[in-house]
Structure 1
Amino acid sequence: MKTTAIAFFMLLFASVSVFAQKELVTGSGTLKKESRSASSFKSISTSGSFNVYITPGSGSNIEIEADDNLLPYIVTDVENGELQLHVKKGYNIKPTQKITVNVSMAEVKSLAASGSGGFYSKGTLKGDKVELGISGSVIIDMDLKAEKLEIGVSGSTKIALKGNVTKVEYGISGSASVDALALQSESVEVAVSGSGDLAVFAEKKLDISISGGAKVRYKGNPSINQSSSGSAKVTKID
């Protein structure tokens, strides 16, 4: 399995944190929307608790809804085609409600998140090779059309996928839950450790490597190459 991107994200999120005293800013309770201009981006990375809603379309529009006094502490930078969402250095924020970020993207290349929050599609997102790198307690709910999808997950992430992707690769550790029965795929590769629970659709080929108490359920009639240890289970869904 080619897991270069997955390995990159896992190393990124496993890096050692440096603890420092930060000023806490509590939300006012008054929500406000703020539009921000940005250069074009095909990738998004978040650090913190941001709920990102992605609409397919031209342009790279950004709209943030949060407590009005927290908006100045929410940073939106674009570097090398990647939108980076994070809290201003030296501060922690405590919102009274979920922070919502609405963006539009003509094409998706990669999405990465650490912490909490999530990525949600509002329509079918398109890309050639799409990479997802997730760490923490993140929710993913997406409709995708792509040639290839690579997913690297650690933690208790919940993922729901639908659409059409020719080849999908999953690298899962921890207690992640994946429901991709509605994601039509020809070839699927699964590598799971821990107590992950995956449900996938594979039309032609399914490669599985699982350990621990992981569970993999699948639909379709693929040829199967399986390696498992511990109490891991693989089950076909009729």
Structure 2
Amino acid sequence: MKISVILSAFAIFCFPFSSCNLDDDQFIPSEHITIREEAFSEYNAIEVSGVFTVYITFSAIEESIKVEANENLQPYIEIAKDKDILKIGLTENLNISGTAKLNIYIITNNIENYMASGTARFLVEGLIDTDNVGIYLSGASAFKGSMIAQTLRAELSGASKMDIDGVADYGEMEAGGASVLGDYDFKINKLNINLSGASNAWFTVLQSIDVVASGASNLMYMGTATISSQDLSGASEVKKEG
């Protein structure tokens, strides 16, 4: 059950800001914090790479993107749109020394797909209410939010974390590399899940579970679901709670 997701690489540009650097290897964020606005619309997916925290709020009438960051980091922050994907990242691989503020505040109508890498975080402050939701996390990235969906597809790797609540009819999920996903406050009818590399998942499942787990991974569940199929190896377990 491999869900293929290609996270597009961000373009690399050169900027003449050597005065911002302590030396060739370190970048010192300035103390002054600034906010700039970007104008993009008609996107339904967000791809973020790097140590950003992306706050998302939904509105039927308002659309905005605000970038809050250290003043000397602002020129290195790139936001662009590729078809229906809003892309957020740094234009250079900076070796940041000290504390950097890299916050993105987005108000938009609807987001269906969330893609994060390199310790990026999504904090969804409104309710995701759409038929199909995709969450793809790698490199210790994180997602937190509430949703009502028909289908949730999720792929996590590299110690990533997905913390969700709400309801979905069907979930197709894969997690590896000590990733963590789910919550007992997320209720799902049918779950198809593949866990590896000491990953852990928690859900309330009401109808059926198909599970493959290896490498000391664990699926814990509450609810009335029956196990339709299971393939467990390497000290992995499926546990019914409550």
Same-fold call, TM cutoff 0.5: yes
| Distance in structure 1 (CA, Å) of the matches to 2:219 and 2:235 | 12
Q: 1:70-81 residue pairs with structure 2 within 5 A?
A: 70-81=73-84
- Which of 92, 96, 102 is residue 99 of structure 1 equivalent to? 102
Q: Indicate yes or no: 2:219 matched with 1:222.
A: no
Distance 2:165 2:238 in 1: 21
TM superposition shift of 1:23? 7.4
May I ask how many residue pairs the two structures share in their alignment?
226
Contact kept in structure 2, 1:29 and 1:96, CA below 8 Å: no
| C-alpha RMSD over aligned residues | 2.1
Partners of 1:157 and 1:232 in 2: CA distance: 19
**Post-superposition offset of 1:60:** 3.6
- The amino acid across from 1:171 in the alignment is E
CA distance in 2, matches of 1:79, 1:172: 27
- For the 8 Å contact 1:24–1:91, the answer to whether it is kept is no
Q: Which runs of 5+ in 2 are unaligned?
A: 10-23
Inter-partner Cα distance in structure 2 for 1:110 and 1:23 = 35
Q: 1:205 to 1:100 in 2, by over 3 A?
A: same
C-alpha displacement of 1:180? 2.2
Q: Deviations over 1:48-103 (max 9, x none)?
A: 11101110113441111110111111000011111100111x45262723311111
1:169 matches 2:172: yes
Secondary structure at the aligned position of 1:70 is classed as helix
Distance in 2 between residues matched to 1:220 and 1:110, nearest whole Å = 27
Please say which structure displays the higher CA radius of gyration.
2
> How many Å separate the matches in 1 of 2:219 and 2:127?
26
Is 1:138 aligned to residue 135 of structure 2? no
Percent sequence identity over aligned pairs = 24
Cα separation, 1, equivalents of 2:108 and 2:136: 18
Query: Distance in 1 between the 2:201 and 2:173 partners?
Result: 9
- Rate the CA distance shift 1:24–1:77 in 2: closer, same or farther, 3 A: farther
1:54 aligns with 2:56: yes
8 Å contact kept, 2:49–2:120:
no
Contact 2:116–2:142, Cα closer than 8 Å, also in 1: no
Provide the rounded CA distance (Å) in 2 between the counterparts of 1:91 and 1:228: 40
Match of 1:28 among 27, 30, 34: 30
Q: Which runs of 4+ in 1 moved over 4 A?
A: none
Counterpart secondary structure, 1:136: coil
Q: Is the 8 A contact 1:177 1:197 kept in 2?
A: yes
Q: 2:182 aligns with which of 179, 199, 207?
A: 179
